Amino acid sequence: MLSNPFATLSHSVPPAVMQVYVVAMALLVVAGTLFDIWHKQSAIYFFNNWREFSDRAKRRVGGGQMAALAVRTAVIDVMASGEFCNLRRRVAHLLTMYGFVIYVVTTVMMVFAYPTPATPTPASVTALWYIGCLLVCAGGYWFWFFIRVDVAAEGHSPFRFVRADLFIVALIVSVSLALVWACVQATGSAIWSTVFLALYVIATTVLFGSVPWSKFSHMFFKPAAALEKRVAEANGTMSNLPPPADAPRTYGGGLKHARHY
């Protein structure tokens, strides 16, 4: 039977410690994203670019149309990952993205709402935690070994690692170790449970602490870029953002992106 691994861990680690760690990881993401925005001047670029194509607009975009564009961006570009024209890459991305969201939400629920055996965790929450982990692993490993451009098209080794890969590698390693730790803990092996818990904490800290150097913050920037492109198309100007991978059209321009997940 699946169990809440964090509730079991509460026998040796106080729930307050786990909760402080989760809050610290969230603060690392916020701080890392703000640093990334300041260092790369992303916000200045977007505001300046928005003002520029607004001044060159051939048609006015009203409030109702802007709301519709925002909804289309949220549904198509964010929730359905419409930027990916390659079906395999889109599916792998969706598996990883929704798996990660489910994993994070259920982790927060288990650590804060059901931190001990005295507060029984609903079976649905526990099951969703494992499902989220499995979805991340399915999408992440599929992408890493079979879909990456440098592996599928350029023939590089799937074990080749560059800084641009930091986010996806840290993510799949962290979630994989979470699964292994939970399974080992369920067997009652205290030594191996401690070993995999330590590895899980290290990998998770790298994942959330490396935001300024990884592509973690891209998940916050990409919706803004997608909305900007839709508004530019609606008002008759040409966005200077590059097109999604595999897209047949090109846009002129200035914003440089490294190879991304």
Q: What is the pLDDT of residue 225?
A: 72
Instruction: Give 215's contacts (C-beta < 8 A, 6+ positions apart).
Output: 164, 166, 167, 168, 258, 260, 261
Residues ≥6 apart with Cβ < 8 Å to 132: 98, 99, 100, 101, 102, 103, 104, 105, 106
Amino acid in position 204: T
For residues 50 and 3, give the distance between their C-alpha atoms in angstroms, rounded to a whole number. Answer: 49
- pLDDT tens per residue, range 172-228: 999 999 999 999 999 988 999 999 999 999 999 999 998 888 776 666 667 777 777
> Which stretches of the chain drop beneath a pLDDT of 50?
239-241, 246-261
CA distances from 217 to 54, 85, 210, 237 (A): 26, 22, 10, 27
Nearest-angstrom CA–CA distance, 64 and 72 = 12
